[in-house]
Amino acid sequence: MTGVPTVSQSLIGLVPKGSFTVNTQGTFDNVGDGLLATLGSTFDITDTRVQGCIRAGVLFDDSTGTLSGVVSTENRFGLVLQGEKRPSYDGGNNQLTGNTERDILTGGDLPVSDAPSPVPPSP
């Protein structure tokens, strides 16, 4: 695969609470993130709305990329940045407002899964 993974012109919403287990840390409950970049990845998000997530609308865990035209609202956290690597999000016409606990959490230490989440069954 070539290029940077991109989410563009998408709507991610109403991510319910779930749980995951990390072998060395235990089980974490009440987790539901919209978009997650982890394990040193690079991820670009453009013209996308993320809303109604139990925890983070967008979470970058020691990963890079860009946010441009992103609306992240009605989540616990709009954008979470943790680890040394971080995306560019200033000046990208983003709206990171209206979240219940914080719009932008810099230096977060939220636990993240070390495996991909399962795809939910079709209705």
Q: CA–CA separation, 94 vs 110, rounded Å?
A: 22
Using a pLDDT cut of 90, give the percent of the chain over it: 67
Q: How large is the average pLDDT for residues 28-53?
A: 94
Which two structure tokens, joined as six digits, stand for 6? 């991109």
pLDDT at position 96 is 97
pLDDT at position 2 is 56
Please indicate, yes or no, if residue 54 is contained in any of the structural domains: yes
Which two structure tokens, joined as six digits, stand for 82? 């943790």
For residue 12, pLDDT over 70 is answered with: yes
Please indicate, yes or no, if residue 6 is contained in any of the structural domains: no
Q: CA–CA separation, 39 vs 80, rounded Å?
A: 15
Q: How many CB atoms lie within 10 A of CB 8?
A: 11
Please indicate, yes or no, if residue 83 is contained in any of the structural domains: yes
pLDDT at position 30 is 84
pLDDT at position 65 is 97
Please indicate, yes or no, if residue 91 is contained in any of the structural domains: yes
pLDDT at position 114 is 73
Q: CA–CA separation, 37 vs 87, rounded Å?
A: 10
Confidence class for position 1, pLDDT limits 50, 70, 90: very low
Confidence class for position 25, pLDDT limits 50, 70, 90: confident
Q: Do the beta carbons of residue 83 and residue 62 sit within 8 Å?
A: yes
Please indicate, yes or no, if residue 55 is contained in any of the structural domains: yes
The number of domains in the chain is 1
Please indicate, yes or no, if residue 27 is contained in any of the structural domains: no
Query: Which domain covers residue 82, as residue numbers?
Result: 33-106
Q: How large is the average pLDDT for residues 69-90?
A: 97
Please indicate, yes or no, if residue 115 is contained in any of the structural domains: no
Please indicate, yes or no, if residue 23 is contained in any of the structural domains: no
